Amino acid sequence: MRKLIFASGNPHKVEEAAAVLGDAFRIITPAEAGLSGEIPETGNTLRSNSLQKARYIYEHTGADCFADDTGLEVDILGGEPGVFTARYAGEACDPEANMQKLLLEMSRREYAASVAREAGLSTPYATRRARFRTCVTLILDGQPHYFDGILEGQIAREKSGVRGFGYDPVFIPDDYPDRTLAELPPEVKNAISHRGKAVRAMAEYLKGLK
């Protein structure tokens, strides 16, 4: 069984990654590896953030490790919140506050677009299209390797569902247009999710090294 340190203290992420990787891998958290405190995350892209987090783990442990960074890109918001997804409503990284701000900002843009059209201006109709994008950085023997995953969908007008975490209650994936991610069983979500796609790509790469 191959051991990998996952640069995350989020139990939901760890559980998801473990389910995707399967029995051939054992995921170790930073705490289990003897690390405490916040892992730096100051990059301005998903890749730079995931690389920064993975390098931090490798430099402090010398062990094989991986890190992810995920962004929600909403078309009507010009791609926001993007790299600021986790702290969209502030440094507290409060999922509830993040979702509330997201829905509010989208409703404001939609209203502004409707007012412009009523005034006779040529304004595109507002879209609720969005996507989750994940970048995973795997460090083996000091060398980084990158794996990406994307999940297309749209933002719901209100929250629905109790599963998952983060923005799951307001994200409707194209694969299941009648449900949010928070309404899908974990195994179904893992099969289609952005993070699942990136982690599976990483697992296939690792298996090919044997």
Q: Which residues are catalytic?
A: 69
User: Hey, what are 38's tokens?
Assistant: 């916040």
Nearest CA among 179, 178, 173, 209 for reference residue 194: 173
Helix (H) or strand (E) holding 155: strand 143-155
> By the 8 A CB rule, do 83 and 69 touch?
yes
Burial code of 71-96, b = ≥16 C-beta within 10 A, e = fewer?
bbbbbbbeebbbbebbebbeeeeebe
E strand or H helix at 189, and its extent? helix 186-192
What's the length of the chain? 210
Q: Which ranges of 76-178 would DSSP assign to H, the alpha helix?
A: 95-118
CB-CB contact of 67 with 48 (8 Å): no
Q: Answer for the pair 170, 103: CB distance below 8 angstroms, yes or no.
A: yes
> CA 138, CA 51: separation in Å to the nearest integer?
8
